[in-house]
Each structure stands twice: as C-alpha cells, then as structure tokens.
Structure 1
C-alpha cells in the first residue's frame, strides 16, 4: 500500500497534535511534519515534500492563503493543499481555492472525514462536498460576473466532449459519476480529465472547476 505523507500547518499546538494522532492511526497515512505558520509550511514542504498539506487559513504572519499560493506556484511541486477552516462560509475559503488549494475541510470534521479528505486530495480529486459546491458556484459566478467572457483563447482548444466533461467536473461529479452520465468507461473519463488539465495548465479538478466558472467557459444554470 502506498503511504500518503501529510504535513499539518496550524498555529495551534492542540490542533496539530490532534490531527497528527488521528491521521497516524489511519492505514496508509503518515504525518511527516508540522508547521506553525505559513513561512514554516513553505519551508517544510520544500524539505519534506509531503503529498498533502493540511493548511489553516488564519495564522499569524504569512497566513494559509499566501502559503498555499507559494507552495502551488511551481509546477514542479506535486504537494496538494487541503485548507482547514472553522466555518464553511469563511470568505477566505474562496481566496484559498483561487490560490491553488485542492479543497477545504471544517476543523470539526470526524477522523473518518479527515482521512477521506486527505486520500481524495492526494489522489487528485476535488474535495467539494455537494452542499458546499452550490455555494462555491454561486460565489464564483457572482465575483466574475463583471469580467466574465467566454474567452476562447483561454479554453485551451477543448473538444466538445472535453468541455462537457469539464462542465460535469464543475458540478462536483466524480469520474465514476461522469462515466455513468456520459455512458462511457471510467478510464475514458480519466483520459479526458488528464487532457483538460494539460490543455488548461491546471493542477487538479478543483482548479478546473474554478477555471470553468471564472472564465465563463461553463455557465451554471440559475446564475
């Protein structure tokens, strides 16, 4: 079994220690380090190359958003960021996702939810729960209404099927759900997703969904 290596970045000692205990008890997950703030997190990522960083948004000095931006800025860095927040309506969540985070999780999540989130993000999937996705869609649509434009030049010359897959990704569907919807093999969907990410120069599905709404490439009904 491949072990998912995790770094926990939070300014609260009890939070770091608590998540460390919970995650180390899960099969296939190992906490390889802890960071006390954003600067420390960036340095630890460079030193330890974890698969996933559990990143608190609000930390003194360099916070989680800027740390996420620095970590995800380099295409050579494969580490994915899972943002930790106290409130699911935290306005900073949107900025964290724009900065490159692959998803977010509430700090009161159960051990099972925490482990699931780490595995999902490590696998390159988007961690956008259905109830959260609707709000994110509304927010991204609202914030980009003024400048929204189909912008064909930014579409990466997606095929009709790839655009269709992108639309379903933006709605929060998994590969299996997309495959069922389009009546194709799941491996075919994975191939489409890979091509979409390459064409749009994006890190993962979460960034693909954000790109779809912000550029107007995909327009959600009702917004």
Structure 2
C-alpha cells in the first residue's frame, strides 16, 4: 500500500549511497530542494551506510548505487528489508542485466534505473515511490518481462505449486504493476478509484504470499502469471 503523505512538520527521510562524489552531490541537492524530503545521510562507502543503519538510523527511502568500492549494495538491501520494511529502496546502477535486476528485486528494491536513464527530477521520483510507484527504466522493464515469461512447453504454474486464482481485474492490475505504473495511474487506466486499486493489490499480496510490489512482480513472474501479457 502507498505510504501516507508526510505531515506538515515532517518529511520523508532519504539516505544516499553513491561513491561518485559529483553524482552524490547532485542527488543530495535534489533531495534538499524538495519540501517533502529530508536528507538523513549520504555515504560513499557501503560499510559507512551499513554502520549508520545498524546504529539505529531511520530512513523512509534508500537511494543507492549497486557496485561500491568496498562491496555490493545487495547486502545492505537485505539488511534494510529486514530491519526497516517501511524503507523503500531505489537502485540506480550502471548494471542492467536480468540477473542483477532480479537479485535487487528479491533483496527488496521497489525500483531499478540505469544511470544512463536517470530521471532529471530525482526528487519527484522518490516522492512517487512513497505514493506507490515502482520506477523502472523501459529497457529494464522489457528485460524483466522477457525473462519472466516462460516457454509454452514448460510446466504451467498450477503444476509448480498451484495457481493463486487471480480474478481478471487482479491479473490486469498485476500486469500494470509489473510495467511500473503507479496506483493513481492504474486507477485512471482501469476506470476505478485509487481505493479500489489498493484493495486489489491487498488481495494480490495475500494470494501471492508477498509483502511488496517488487516481491509481487518477481513471484508472479516465477509462477508464469505474466506470460503472454
């Protein structure tokens, strides 16, 4: 479900992890300029970010590169998913292969964007994440969908543990989630209210036994529910 908007006296806390000083400064300036965001911390090394979170640092959004000088941020994604499930993670990386993207989704990322297609308005993208969006570069989205589709001669989902029994509308909403649409956009495209969309997504989560948009897309792909859509 989308997070409620910050109160007038509070803002969503953003943590940046990026080893390139110029890129990190750009991200930090974008965050500081937005009235709904607050920069809670910025780091150039994985170890420093891990120490900050382990010392009870609280964040609503983690914006991170993947390959850091001292390690891969996947370790941090998993730690944050366990310790702060309300913290949404957006990965911005030079890597765009399917295995890397899927690994990030499995680790808890709600969005994945390649650096050569970084949105000009990073702050707006972060706010949209808290409103239910799952930003993914078009090329990355296409790769994910192609990777998730299974050949027709493979065993159907029902033979791989059973179909979750999605309704036609739930299947349509799932397809739009996988394509990166926000809840508001899904409501407009489907001609229903945002509240109704949230109800469908709640049912989807329950049927797929997941707790986030990224997990829902990954699990649906694994079960072959996105094939042919």
The TM-score bracket by the shorter chain reads 0.7 to 0.9
Q: How does 1:89-168 map to 2 (within 5 A)?
A: 92-107=100-115, 109-112=118-121, 114-141=122-149, 149-151=156-158, 153=161, 156=164, 158-168=166-176
Q: Who is 1:44 aligned against?
A: 52
How far off is 1:158 after superposition?
4.2
Match among 54, 60, 71 for residue 69 of structure 2: 60
SS of the aligned residue for 2:109 comes to coil
- Kindly indicate whether the alpha-carbon contact (under 8 Å) linking 1:68 and 1:101 is maintained by their aligned counterparts in 2: yes
Which sits farther off after the overlay, 126-135 or 3-12? 126-135
Task: Give the superposed CA RMSD.
Answer: 3.0
Q: Who is 1:190 aligned against?
A: 198
Rounded to whole Å, the distance in 2 between the matches of 1:70 and 1:145 is: 37
Matched, 1:208 2:194: no
Task: Point out where structure 1 has 5 or more consecutive residues left out of the alignment.
Answer: none
Rounded to whole Å, the distance in 2 between the matches of 1:10 and 1:161 is: 40
Q: Deviations over 1:16-65 (max 9, x none)?
A: 23321222112211111023333433332342211111111101333112
- Kindly indicate whether the alpha-carbon contact (under 8 Å) linking 2:34 and 2:123 is maintained by their aligned counterparts in 1: yes
Rounded to whole Å, the distance in 1 between the matches of 2:69 and 2:154 is: 33
How high is the TM-score relative to the length of structure 2? 0.78
Matched, 1:9 2:11: no
Alignment length, in residue pairs?
A: 218
Task: Point out where structure 2 has 5 or more consecutive residues left out of the alignment.
Answer: none
How high is the TM-score relative to the length of structure 1? 0.80
